Amino acid sequence: MSSLVDELESSVGPGGCLHRPEELLVYECDALTLHSATPTAVVLPRSREEVRSVVSICRAHAVPFVPRGTGTGLSGGAIANDGAVIVECSRMTRILEINAEDRYAIVEPGVINADLSKATFEHGLFYAPDPSSQLACAIGGNVAENAGGPHTLKYGTTTNHVLALELVLPDASVVQFGSRSGFATGYDLVGAVVGSEGTLGIVTQVTVRLKSIPERVETLLASFPDVVTACRAVGGIIEAGLTPAALEIIDRSTIAAVEASVYAAGLPEDAGAVLIIELDGAAVSLPRQLERVEQICARAGAAQVDVAADESERQRFWRARKGAFGAMGRLAPDLYVHDAVVPRNKLPEVLDEICAIGDRHGLTLSNVFHAGDGNLHPNISFDRRDPDTLRRVIAAGSEILECCVRAGGVITGEHGVGNEKRDFMHLVFSEADMDAMRRFRDCFNPEGVCNPGKIFPTTRFCVESNPKARGYDRVEFD
Ligand X SMILES: Cc1cc2nc3c(=O)[nH]c(=O)nc-3n(C[C@H](O)[C@H](O)[C@H](O)COP(=O)(O)OP(=O)(O)OC[C@H]3O[C@@H](n4cnc5c(N)ncnc54)[C@H](O)[C@@H]3O)c2cc1C
**Residue whose CB is less far from ligand X, 109 or 358:** 109
Alpha-carbon distance 370 to 57, whole Å?
A: 42
User: Is 248 a binder of ligand X (CB under 6 A)?
Assistant: no
CB of 156 to ligand X, least distance (A): 12
User: Is 68 a binder of ligand X (CB under 6 A)?
Assistant: yes
**Residue whose CB is less far from ligand X, 79 or 297:** 79
Least Cα distance to 57 among 46, 68, 41 occurs for 41
**Residue whose CB is less far from ligand X, 167 or 296:** 167
In angstroms, the Cα distances linking 474 to 385, 400, 471 are 10, 22, 8
Element (H, E) at 391: helix 387-406
**Residue of 109, 170, 358, 453 interacting with ligand X (CB under 6 A):** 109
User: Is 373 a binder of ligand X (CB under 6 A)?
Assistant: no
Least Cα distance to 339 among 371, 293, 378 occurs for 378
CB of 144 to ligand X, least distance (A): 3
User: Is 257 a binder of ligand X (CB under 6 A)?
Assistant: no
Per DSSP (E only), the strands in 344-391 are: 364-370, 375-376, 378-382
**Residue whose CB is less far from ligand X, 67 or 178:** 67
> Contact letters (x/-) for ligand X, 134-173, by CB under 6 A?
---xx-xxx-xx-xxx------------------------
User: Is 69 a binder of ligand X (CB under 6 A)?
Assistant: yes
User: Is 230 a binder of ligand X (CB under 6 A)?
Assistant: no
Least Cα distance to 80 among 452, 423, 447 occurs for 452
User: Is 358 a binder of ligand X (CB under 6 A)?
Assistant: no
Cβ proximity of 149 and 134 under 8 Å:
yes
User: Is 342 a binder of ligand X (CB under 6 A)?
Assistant: no
User: Is 449 a binder of ligand X (CB under 6 A)?
Assistant: no
> Contact letters (x/-) for ligand X, 388-427, by CB under 6 A?
--------------------------xx--x---------
φ, ψ of residue 235 to 5 degrees: the values are -60, -40
Output the furthest CA–CA distance in the chain (Å, rounded): 69
Listed in sequence order, the residues at least 6 apart from 363 whose beta carbon sits closer than 8 Å to its beta carbon are: 380, 381, 382, 389, 392, 393, 396
Cβ proximity of 18 and 40 under 8 Å:
no
**Residue of 18, 43, 66, 357 interacting with ligand X (CB under 6 A):** 66
Element (H, E) at 7: helix 2-12
User: Is 219 a binder of ligand X (CB under 6 A)?
Assistant: no
User: Is 378 a binder of ligand X (CB under 6 A)?
Assistant: no
User: Is 72 a binder of ligand X (CB under 6 A)?
Assistant: yes
CA angle 230, 234, 236 (to 5 degrees): 110
**Residue whose CB is less far from ligand X, 55 or 300:** 55
Alpha-carbon distance 337 to 352, whole Å?
A: 18
Alpha-carbon distance 65 to 81, whole Å?
A: 9
User: Is 133 a binder of ligand X (CB under 6 A)?
Assistant: yes
**Residue whose CB is less far from ligand X, 85 or 137:** 137
Neighbouring CB atoms inside 10 A of 361's CB total: 18
CB of 145 to ligand X, least distance (A): 4
φ, ψ of residue 83 to 5 degrees: the values are 65, 35
User: Is 325 a binder of ligand X (CB under 6 A)?
Assistant: yes
CB of 197 to ligand X, least distance (A): 4
> Contact letters (x/-) for ligand X, 179-208, by CB under 6 A?
------------------xx---xx-----
**Residue whose CB is less far from ligand X, 107 or 302:** 107
User: Is 50 a binder of ligand X (CB under 6 A)?
Assistant: no
**Residue whose CB is less far from ligand X, 120 or 132:** 132
Torsion of CA 253, 312, 300, 295, to 10 degrees: 170
Q: Would you tell me which residues interact with ligand X (CB under 6 A)?
A: 30-31, 66-74, 77-78, 89, 109, 131-133, 137-138, 140-142, 144-145, 147-149, 197-198, 202-203, 325, 414-415, 418, 451
